[in-house]
Amino acid sequence: MSNLLTAKLLPKFKLGTKAVLCAVLLIAVNTALVVGAGYWSLTTAFNDRALRDIEVNLRTLALAFAETAPDAKITMRDGAVVRAEIPRMPEFRDHAIVDRAVSYVGGNATLFVFDDASGQFVRRSTNVKKEDGNRAVGTQLAADHPAQALLRRGEAYKGPAVLFGKSFMTAYFPVVDAAGKVAGILYVGIPMAQFESMLTQAIESMAIAAGIAALLVLVLTLLIVRRVTRPLSSVTHSLTALANGKSDVAIDCEDRADEIGEIARTVAVFRSNSLERARMRSEQTAATAAAA
């Protein structure tokens, strides 16, 4: 690929320039790959962390709910909520449960109740705020919300969601009644802004580090190219002088052990042959003059 690049895409540039341009291209590609891989890795790590945190928030809300509603039953396995039951969802006259849970773990929380009249899940107690800054009491779970289908089947939803224009990592856990029907939802959410801020800072730091490393590599490449092209230019100058008939030209780099040294020694042979031919021509000319 590098031969194709230098032969077809950079035909008018000198060897040193081609080498530097190729190095710049490779450094840019490598930096992009490193930053891209870092972004993917960090995004995955932050999402995993958000999901772990959301499990803690859900457990906290479920326990607060069970303590306030004595007839509620919360089943856990390995520290995670696996089932929430209550004969009948209570009337929530205040926001003590959600506020208590959030005071422990942060984020936001909501207690939904299924409204038979509308057939929708309605927020009865929440600290989720609407755009106007008021609690979103009485609002419904959006019909196009990704949790809708799962919740109506009695399954939990854990993943990203947008609430009133803001992104959250969320958990929606169904609460079933005595008949096994979904009577309500335990909801907890963590603003993704805090994770996005950490991700941005991490990527910026990684990009700066990659940029500094790329700059150091580029400087090193320039130094190496200069060490190679300078003696090569000297040998090329000597070869050009020989081609122009200057047999007394000095030839540098004959003592080098690399390819440049081999070229210099070959040029030295050309110079010796040129000097020998010049000597023979001079002797022949002198002999001819003496015979005349």
Does 276 reside within a domain? no
pLDDT digits (tens, 9 = 90+) for 119-173: 999 999 999 988 888 999 999 999 899 999 999 999 999 998 888 888 889 999 9
pLDDT digit string, tens, across residues 42-79? 888 888 888 899 999 999 999 999 998 889 999 999 98
Assigned domain for 24 exists = no
- Which CATH number do you get for residue 170? 3.30.450.20
* pLDDT for res 187: 97
> What are the tens digits of pLDDT across the range 9-40?
556 667 777 777 888 888 888 888 888 888 88
Is 8 part of a structural domain of the chain? no
Q: Specify if 77 maps to a domain.
A: yes
Read off the pLDDT of residues 107-119 as tens digits, 9 standing for 90 and up.
Answer: 999 999 999 999 9
Q: Would you give the DSSP letter of residue 90? A: P
Distance CA 172, CA 203 (A): 31
In-domain check, residue 287? no
For the chain, what is the domain count?
1
Full domain range(s) for residue 116: 38-191
Tell me if 230 is assigned to some domain.
no
What mean pLDDT value characterizes the chain?
Answer: 83
Instruction: State the pLDDT at residue 189.
Output: 94
236 within some domain: no
Take residue 93 and report the two structure tokens written for it. Answer: 């006259």
CA distance 215 to 218: 5
On whether residue 176 sits in a domain, the answer given is yes
